[in-house]
Amino acid sequence: MVSDRGFSGLVIKNEMAGIRCTGRKLTVKGGTLLQKLVDFSIRAGLGGLEKMTGIPGTVAGAISGNAGAYGQTISDRLARVVVFDGEEQLTLDRSRCRFSYRESIFKKKKDWIILEAEFSLERAVPQDLKTVSQEIRTVREAKYPAELQCPGSFFKNLRAEDLPPRALKKIPEDKIKHGKIPAGYLLDEAGARGKSYGGVKIASYHGNLFFNEGKGTAEDFAALAEKYRQKVKEKFGVLLEPEVQLVGF
């Protein structure tokens, strides 16, 4: 999300796209849409990416943010990444990418351009992968209707192992999924659902879904998010971190 004041810099769109399959390996250009990679892997009967269906953006963007959903993360099957650092091409294996929950070295090396990535996947039945993908797509389309102007989940979920014991005691066990506490649950409990500020509103059915009603500004998003970030801190003693990248704030 870019500040209403803009920022001092350039936006460079990576349009290098293409997928090459060799056995169980897929070599993908960074500008390829993530959904095209997911669809390709399903048709090829290669499992490991099917749960990421419906996540917008490119493969390079997904790698930078270590995107994932429903217990599956793009770095799980990543073998190597080729980047351009402004002077030369570098090839990094998975360990050098410093992946963690929604983090990678690429968020710190903002001048690096992800050119290509290689994934090592598992053989699977295409129809089984397609079924999983379609089920997730149905859930996503109900949560994020096509006409909804939103940046996706605004805050990161929290890893249960990172929470202090006092905070963890306040979380019902059935709310912990894949070792994480949904930020949406914490925001719901803090009263975020249905609230608004300026032209931005929080969905009535999900506390971590902030959307533009038509004339909202970046500052509206930031103010509303910070208000309920603080309310979560007051109630649970934890501070949510934005999953949305904030530029120029």
Catalytic residues: 102, 153, 243
d(CA 151, CA 221): 10
Q: Tell me the C-alpha distance between 117 and 100, whole Å.
A: 18
Helices (H), the chain: 34-43, 59-64, 126-143, 165-168, 183-189, 218-236
**142: exposed, middle or buried (C-beta count within 10 Å: 0-12, 13-18, 19+)?**
exposed
Structure token digits, residue 183: 């930020």
Residue 100 tokens read as 């963690």
Can you name the residues that pair with 72 across neighbouring β-strands? Answer: 69
Per-residue exposure over 183-195, b if at least 16 CB sit within 10 Å of its own CB, e if not: bbbbbbbbebbeb
Give the tokens for residue 209. 């879904």
Given a contact cutoff of 8 angstroms between Cβ atoms, the answer to whether 150 and 206 are in contact is no
Burial of 85 (0-12, 13-18, 19+ CB in 10 A): exposed
CB-count exposure of residue 95 (10 Å: 0-12, 13-18, 19+):
exposed
